[in-house]
Amino acid sequence: MDEVGFLEKLRYKFDNLMSKGTGILLLSLASATAIMIAIISLIVWITQSGPTSSFTELLWMGLMRAIDSGTVSGDTGSVGYIFLMFVTTLGGIFILSILIGILTTGIESKLDSLRKGRSRVIEKDQTIILGWSEQIFTIVEELIEANSNRKHACIVIMGNHDKSEMDDAIRERITDMKTTRIVTRQGNPIDIDDLEIVSLNTSRSIIIIPEDDTRVIKTILAITNNPNKRSQPYNIVTVLKDPANVQVAQIAGNNHAEIILSDTLISRIIAQTCRQPGLSTVYTELLDFGGDEIYFSDCPEIIGKTFGEALFLFEKSTVIGVQTQGKTYLNPPMETILQPGDQIIAISEDDDTIIVKPEQQHSIDVGAILQTTAAESESPEKTLILGWNDNAHLIIQEIDNYVPQDSILTVVSDCVEDEDFQTALSQVVNQKIELLKGDPKDRTILDELMVKNYDHVIILSNNSELDVQESDANTLVVLLQLRDISEKLNCRFSVVSEMMDFRNKKLAEVTKVNDFIVSEKLISLMLTQVSENKMVNTVFEDLFDADGSELYIKKAAKYIKPDTSVNYYTLVEAAKRKNEIVIGYVIADEQKDAQKNYGIYINPAKAATVTLVEKDGLIVIAED
């Protein structure tokens, strides 16, 4: 091996020095300046060629000439002294130039570091979002709304994207931040060291945006296995697709992670909504922070009263259940006595609007309430599914939980695998399933099907084979075909359409469809709600489950006399007599009007009066 020369060694040491950062370079430059001034001052002092014999004064004079190049023009004395001062000035100019370069490079390096988003976050009580996708914008908008009554709220986002790109996207899509600051950082959520950047230990909640189940579980492990983790459990909320992964995720999160099953959630909402037009709007109202939401509240004033009595004690809130000893009960028996430590579950505009009003006699129009009649026997139903995706068999299974026996379900799709269809067949009891292979956009097929003979139509997005925009475009084509059929044949059937991009919902509104299920938006809303209050997750699990109490939109004429002006107390009493809880009503003539929220009114003031006609409905929580 060739021997390394002195110059090469020197160059190597210099290269190492230059790579050590701005601080070391400034220290090295200061040392070089001090050495230069000291050597020249020592020469002047030894030769006694300067204007003073004090070495300290010579050091000061040398420093002034190194800093200010104009000082040398006033020097007098021997040629040797002037030459040495001139050398000092030249050295000062050279060193000052290097100093400017080092400072410029250091500032640029710091700005680059800030742009990369790698500095540690110093916040307290912040909401952390790990991951980046289209869901981020809905989640952030909802968190901003939820934080509107909190000063100096903060959302910290860590994504594996360029920080400037994330900042620009947020500024473009979200214009009003209200009381919330948004901080972005670039990093990998499954990297324990990167997670240190977002300050997990000071967070109020952590939302993990899903890419796939495996990555979600890895992220949970990275959070809970942090060597510097706090003693208090983290409030982790995330989404999984496969129910088989829930147990693993819970183990990884030490049973402190709230898991939302996205496919199951969407399938249940579609199944319930297809049979009850308008229900998707009700769920959206309850899930977003723009109107009324579900809260848990301690109300010692109602201890000892029955649940039925509690329904009338809140003017601006709707009581829907009770939490006792850590368990949640929706629509419990009306005679249930509220015990100390119980919390009521209520729908209200905010948690501070759940106020018990002073007890007084409320006016109920008993004469307008209809007597409870025997339940009508249900006829078999016909459901048409246009399209197919990974959730189709779950949707079919959920529909089977609600429809009467001997119902018929027809599937039209050109991408159904035989194995998937057989899986769907094996899971149904109350329905006969028919498969017609063909393109749902084909008008000839729709005409041959006699769509007017179906009670419910579901349009599914083909999100497994097509991108979001192409899938939604196909859905729009089918919707337009169905609207044309409905108008030409003067027939009515409920239509539920699944869409992937919320922005395309506005385009689809021209089709006058009853319900749109925007999967990503609903999941984002659910994530946000649970991040603010994890107990809400159990409430929605109960509402979406076919067992127990669910949301229904029933004809108002089954509860009160049509065309009769009554206050909301009367509606509460009418539902209570059927062991149900009314949470709002539907005005049929407004169901196509987006400006009036499609005729959906949730949690109205109880003293307010309303006149409901034959075709209007009540939104109730009931067992069937």
**The one-letter amino acid at 233:** P
CA 29, CA 92: separation in Å to the nearest integer?
11
Counting beta carbons within 10 angstroms of the beta carbon of residue 92, is it exposed (0 to 12), middle (13 to 18) or buried (19 or more)? buried
Distances (CA, A) of 17 to 12, 20, 100, 112, 113: 9, 6, 18, 21, 20
Amino acid 72: pLDDT? 66
Q: Nearest 5°: phi and psi at 564?
A: -115, 130
Tell me which H or E stretch contains 619: strand 617-622
Amino acid 1: pLDDT? 46
Residue-wise DSSP of 499-550: ES-THHHHHHGGG--SEEEEHHHHHHHHHHHHHH-TTHHHHHHHHHSSSS-E
- Domain made up of 6-116: CATH architecture: Orthogonal Bundle (1.10)
How do residues 516-549 score in pLDDT, each as one tens digit?
777 888 999 999 999 999 999 999 989 988 888 8
Sheet strands (E) in 6-130? 126-130
Amino acid 131: pLDDT? 94
- Which residue numbers in the chain have pLDDT < 50? 1
Amino acid 61: pLDDT? 79
Which CATH number fits the domain 382-517, given the four candidates 3.40.50.720, 3.40.640.10, 2.40.30.10, 3.40.50.1820?
3.40.50.720
Counting beta carbons within 10 angstroms of the beta carbon of residue 4, is it exposed (0 to 12), middle (13 to 18) or buried (19 or more)? exposed
What's the per-residue H, E or C state across 232-264? CCCCEEEEECCHHHHHHHHHHCCCCEEEEEHHH
Q: Nearest 5°: phi and psi at 182?
A: -115, 125
Amino acid 499: pLDDT? 85
6-116 and 293-348: same fold? no
Amino acid 577: pLDDT? 93
In the sheet that 153-159 helps form, which strands lie side by side, from edge to edge? 180-186, 153-159, 126-130, 203-208, 236-240, 257-261
Sheet strands (E) in 61-179? 126-130, 153-159
How do residues 568-589 score in pLDDT, each as one tens digit?
999 999 999 999 999 999 999 9
Amino acid 465: pLDDT? 75
Write the Ramachandran bin of 171: left for phi over 0, alpha for psi from -120 to 50, otherwise beta.
Answer: alpha
Tokens 């290269």, residue located: 15
Distances (CA, A) of 402 to 188, 430, 432, 538, 544: 44, 9, 14, 21, 12
The CATH code belonging to domain 293-348 is 3.30.70.1450
Amino acid 415: pLDDT? 82
Q: Which structure tokens are listed for 139?
A: 């989640």
| 126-255 CATH fold | Rossmann fold (3.40.50)
Q: Which residues contact 613 (CB under 8 A, 6 or more apart)?
A: 556, 562, 563, 588
Amino acid 313: pLDDT? 92
CA nearest neighbour of 620 among 588, 573, 561, 565:
573
CA nearest neighbour of 576 among 362, 343, 335, 285:
335
* Contact of 459 with 493, CB cutoff 8 Å: no
Tokens 């129910």, residue located: 243
Per DSSP, 580 falls in state -
Counting beta carbons within 10 angstroms of the beta carbon of residue 497, is it exposed (0 to 12), middle (13 to 18) or buried (19 or more)? buried
Give the domain ranges of the chain: 6-116, 126-255, 293-348, 382-517
CA 79, CA 600: separation in Å to the nearest integer?
97
SS3 132: coil
407 beta partners: 431
